[in-house]
Amino acid sequence: MVFVCSCLRFLTFAFAVAQKPQKWIGEPSSDSEESFVNVKRSDFRADFVFGASTAAAQIEGSEKSKGKRPTVWDQFIRKLPDKIVDNSSLEVAIDLHNCYKV
């Protein structure tokens, strides 16, 4: 259920964002600091399907989160912390685990 809710939340956000001009990610144009692109649903074929995915580790946080069991990622970070480029952990993430009652 949490997965379905998080997917719906993301898709709602993505659709809302697609309705507004977005800051272009990349090199700024020579005449301005920012470049914008306006992406609309009508820019895509009618049969184009938008998709989204996420990983539990990114939204739930670490095993230290209340009521969460250890995962493969918790073990990986504990055993090989130097493999994470910025030395971050899963302790905070976006804390979706605490946003919904299970």
pLDDT tens string 42-95:
888 899 888 777 777 777 777 776 667 788 888 888 888 888 888 777 777 776
DSSP one-letter string for 43-63: GS-TT--------HHHHH--T
d(CA 77, CA 46): 43
Say which amino acid occupies 88.
S
pTM of the predicted protein model: 0.39
d(CA 36, CA 89): 33
